[in-house]
Structure 1
Amino acid sequence: MASAAKPRLDPPTAYEVISPESYAGWDPLLDTFDRLRDESPVAWVEDPEGRHPPFWLVSRYDDVMRVSKDNATFLNNPQTVVFSLTEGIEFAKNLTGGSPHMVASLVTFDAPIHMKYRKLTQEWFMPKNLRTLEDEIRELAQKTVDRLIEAGPEADFCKLVSQPYPLHVVMQILGVPEEDEPRMLMLTQQMFGGQDEDLNQSGMKDLPPEAITQLVAGAVKDFEAYFAGLTAEKRANPTDDVASTIANATVDGEPLNDRDMMGYYIIVAAAGHDTTSASTAGAMLALAQDPEQWDKVKADRSLLPGIVEEAIRWTSPVQHFMRTAAEDTELGGQHIAKGDWLMINYVAANHDPAQFGNPRKFDASRSPSRHLAFGAGAHQCLGLHLARLEMRILFETLLDRVESVELAGEPKRAKSTFVGGLKTLPLRIAAA
């Protein structure tokens, strides 16, 4: 039977799980998740001042997996899929004419429309097709490592490698010219880094919520303007790339409407590189902290897939998604009412000791590692095979050309509740 009384988080803990600063701090937040999984794995979070809608925090692996896979009971669309303050939700509704989603995309669609849109580009991101791109990706990896070595012996890995490299790859697949990549990086950082003064392009600490919302809205508008021009070009002169597929796609016999089309571009362009960037930096941090592991994988490349997979779990770049209950149900012993909002927290789930022994340890030998960093079920990340391929090729190149690596300063994480990871990773490298 579900319990009658909702287990409510105390105000300091409730603030901690939604605070961008908490995710930058990391270890104290993991301590909190450890406590919550034991005491209140499904807990009610409510702000007495109404600054955000109330929601259920889901922190246990098994519960997060269940919500992720049960797309009939737990919907993406009715409320925003990313935690937002009430002010931001109202801003989005005013901007879009009623939708809480500033961007309409695969992430915000439910069945049956979700699968129809997903199928438009799904083949593009399957291993069979990605194999045809390996040579191009390897060339990009070589150029990226060239820049790192030229900048050495001390360099910021995030700035020189983990930020630009996945961006190069996804823009090449999308069909965006190389000269436009800096603009794409800036807009992505404005969308996902709005809470961090080093990433949101404002240079300002502690931006008020309304300024962050306007920054994100401005980035969306700039994305849409750019992709409107790209659409016209790809319709007039289609080429063999994802942008041409999207520009000329039809669903149920009709071309995509402008909002859905722009959302499709944005989700591929933005989500397609920011998350891989975070995992790539996480893998390098782990190897820089453990010279023995670096030497082992340098000698035995069969260990590399394990390092890639563990880095994705360990960093959990997409830190949460929100879902809305379609009907009354029960989760973790709690009664969930129809219309309730839930946060499925991937950081908490991927550090659940019931699923991962000693979860804070970077252990490349975990097998199997059924982590949730790519989600699960129908909404599992479209680009998961691409992310793994990019990381494998980059680290093969690094291991060939770098003899040793160590930290040259204190790494810093981004202040972000949604997409997170390292924003700086100072390294000292010795070229092979």
Structure 2
Amino acid sequence: MTRPTSTIDAFSPEAYADEAGIAARFAAMRAQGDVLWIEQEPYRPFWAVLRHKDIMEIERNSKVWLNAPRLTLLPAWFEDRTIAQFGSRTGPVRTLLDMDEPDHRKHRQLTQSWFNSRFLDTLRERMKLLAREYVDKIARLAPLGPFDFVEEIAVPYPLIMITSILGLPESDAPLVLRLTQELFGASDPDRNANGDFGLATAMEFFGYLGGVVQQRRQAPQDDLMSVIATATIDGAPVSDMDTLSYGMLLAAAGHDTTSSSVGVGMMQLARNPDQFAKLQADPALVAPAAQEIFRWATPVRHFMRTAAVDTEIAGQPIAAGEQVAILYLSGNRDERAFDEPDAFRIDRTPNRHLGFGYGAHHCLGRILAEMELEALFAEIAARVATITLAGEPEWVKTNHTGGLKRLPVRVTMK
């Protein structure tokens, strides 16, 4: 059986600097087939899975589709080097994202209760106050002319919340931000120019968190870093590397994906004043608006999975050991799954987007991210009169996790 192939580049980091272009490339690929074989330098060959239903099928079957050993698209030369040095493609880093069962379930359960709605409900009022503070900041900036919404609002707002939950000093927030941006923007020369795809940054992150972990083991506090630092699984302490990896994942992913969504949400409200007017007129639309923002932003663009056995997707045979890229951004614009998928509609329902993944590995911080977006955009809708773009939005060059680098806007207040 011949393999359906594509030579369209929807995988290089540079392709994601063009928002309309990457959406058009995925649309063209979906027209070629649902599952396509990709041979593109510098990556090892893989299957591209483009359709919403097929991505969900893979995500719900974690016994057939494994996260290890290849989680993201990395150049083959880098994989070879890190395997030779550390014995794995990602070096010493081993997060929840890299794990399969039973390790994944056991590690996820360590913090799952912190991310359920019952605990987060205790933060709801604090989140409203924080959202009010940041819209106060918008009110101070608005009369001065255009400002960068990403730098001033989208980045610091969720950063302060996750560092608070983890129990990290607010004075450490700039360090956490720099390390996160270098880690997730490792393929963007503006973010990380050392060419090692975030490995050195991960080691610096480990160095910082190592001191925090040591402090929490000596004197645990009522924060999430204490839970991670003192955790045991099957009666044994979690290894130092797994502990540091866990802390790094929460510290980085706990704000970066949310800040990406906040930035894209503001951009889309500026581009679609009719939708912003709807939100201003009906505050109850803030919850579906947040879901539409997550669909549009899709801050995690892909993950890889490896077939544990001979199987198939959409009728395409996949051999054991072959790998697939589940392309969330393509799935969230799939015309078979969404009516007018390229339209931004804050009242879209149903909206079964893949912005948080699906299945056993769905985003641990989903409820926190939803609460953060709803709190901020409710406050923006209540107090901001108009939003317009003051220049071209600029995107981070990354094929994995990222969003806007800059978003110049003009705002008027009510």
- Residue pair 2:275, 2:345 contacting (<8 A) in 1 also: no
The Cα of 1:26 is off from its aligned counterpart by: 2.2
1:333 matched to 2:315: yes
1:191-340 to 2 correspondences below 5 Å: 191-200=183-192, 202=193, 211-213=194-196, 216-340=198-322
Query: 1: CA distance between counterparts of 2:54 and 2:162?
Result: 32
> What CA deviation, in whole Å up to 9, does each residue of 1:199-248 have, x standing for no partner?
33x5xxxxxxxx321x6111101110111100111112211111000001
- Structure 1 equivalent of residue 27 of structure 2: 34
Kindly provide the amino acid, as one letter, of the partner of residue 76 in structure 2: T
Structure 2, unmatched stretches of 5+, are none
- Structure 2 equivalent of residue 205 of structure 1: none
> What CA deviation, in whole Å up to 9, does each residue of 1:37-92 have, x standing for no partner?
23221111124xx6321100110111111111110110001x22011011221233
Query: 1: CA distance between counterparts of 2:225 and 2:333?
Result: 37
Query: 2: CA distance between counterparts of 1:172 and 1:92?
Result: 34
- Structure 2 equivalent of residue 177 of structure 1: 169
> What CA deviation, in whole Å up to 9, does each residue of 1:311-350 have, x standing for no partner?
0001111000000000000112211010001100001110
- Structure 2 equivalent of residue 348 of structure 1: 330
1:359 matched to 2:356: no
The Cα of 1:299 is off from its aligned counterpart by: 2.3
1:66 matched to 2:57: yes
- Residue pair 1:23, 1:420 contacting (<8 A) in 2 also: no
Match of residue 115, structure 1, among 98, 101, 105: 105
1:146 matched to 2:143: no
- Residue pair 2:6, 2:32 contacting (<8 A) in 1 also: no
Match of residue 24, structure 1, among 13, 17, 21: 17
1:104 matched to 2:94: yes
Kindly provide the amino acid, as one letter, of the partner of residue 6 in structure 1: R
Query: 2: CA distance between counterparts of 1:151 and 1:87?
Result: 46
Q: Percent identity?
A: 39
Query: 1: CA distance between counterparts of 2:383 and 2:166?
Result: 29
- Residue pair 1:310, 1:363 contacting (<8 A) in 2 also: yes
Query: 2: CA distance between counterparts of 1:161 and 1:198?
Result: 20
The Cα of 1:163 is off from its aligned counterpart by: 0.9
Kindly provide the amino acid, as one letter, of the partner of residue 19 in structure 2: W
- Structure 2 equivalent of residue 7 of structure 1: 4
- Structure 2 equivalent of residue 88 of structure 1: 78
> What CA deviation, in whole Å up to 9, does each residue of 1:235-283 have, x standing for no partner?
1221111100000100010111011111100110111111111111111
1:52 matched to 2:43: yes
- Residue pair 2:166, 2:223 contacting (<8 A) in 1 also: yes
User: TM-score normalized by structure 2?
Assistant: 0.96
1:368-379 to 2 correspondences below 5 Å: 368-379=350-361
What SS is found at the alignment partner of 1:304?
Answer: helix
Query: 2: CA distance between counterparts of 1:56 and 1:28?
Result: 21
Structure 1, unmatched stretches of 5+, are 203-210
User: TM-score normalized by structure 1?
Assistant: 0.92
- Residue pair 1:193, 1:199 contacting (<8 A) in 2 also: yes
Query: 2: CA distance between counterparts of 1:7 and 1:164?
Result: 44
Query: 2: CA distance between counterparts of 1:270 and 1:255?
Result: 23
- Residue pair 2:13, 2:399 contacting (<8 A) in 1 also: yes
Query: 2: CA distance between counterparts of 1:422 and 1:161?
Result: 12
- Residue pair 1:156, 1:427 contacting (<8 A) in 2 also: yes
Kindly provide the amino acid, as one letter, of the partner of residue 195 in structure 2: I
Query: 2: CA distance between counterparts of 1:287 and 1:179?
Result: 32
Aligned residues: 411
Query: 2: CA distance between counterparts of 1:240 and 1:90?
Result: 42
What SS is found at the alignment partner of 1:321?
Answer: strand
- Residue pair 1:406, 1:428 contacting (<8 A) in 2 also: yes
Query: 2: CA distance between counterparts of 1:363 and 1:299?
Result: 15
Query: 2: CA distance between counterparts of 1:334 and 1:152?
Result: 54
- Residue pair 1:148, 1:155 contacting (<8 A) in 2 also: no
Query: 1: CA distance between counterparts of 2:111 and 2:57?
Result: 26
The Cα of 1:165 is off from its aligned counterpart by: 0.8
Farther off after superposition, 35-44 or 221-230: 35-44
Kindly provide the amino acid, as one letter, of the partner of residue 19 in structure 1: S
Query: 2: CA distance between counterparts of 1:88 and 1:230?
Result: 30
Kindly provide the amino acid, as one letter, of the partner of residue 70 in structure 1: N
1:126-145 to 2 correspondences below 5 Å: 126-145=116-135
The Cα of 1:382 is off from its aligned counterpart by: 0.2
What SS is found at the alignment partner of 1:17?
Answer: coil
Q: What do you get for the CA RMSD once the two structures are aligned?
A: 1.4
- Residue pair 2:6, 2:29 contacting (<8 A) in 1 also: no
1:159 matched to 2:148: no
The Cα of 1:293 is off from its aligned counterpart by: 2.1
- Structure 2 equivalent of residue 206 of structure 1: none
Query: 2: CA distance between counterparts of 1:175 and 1:212?
Result: 32
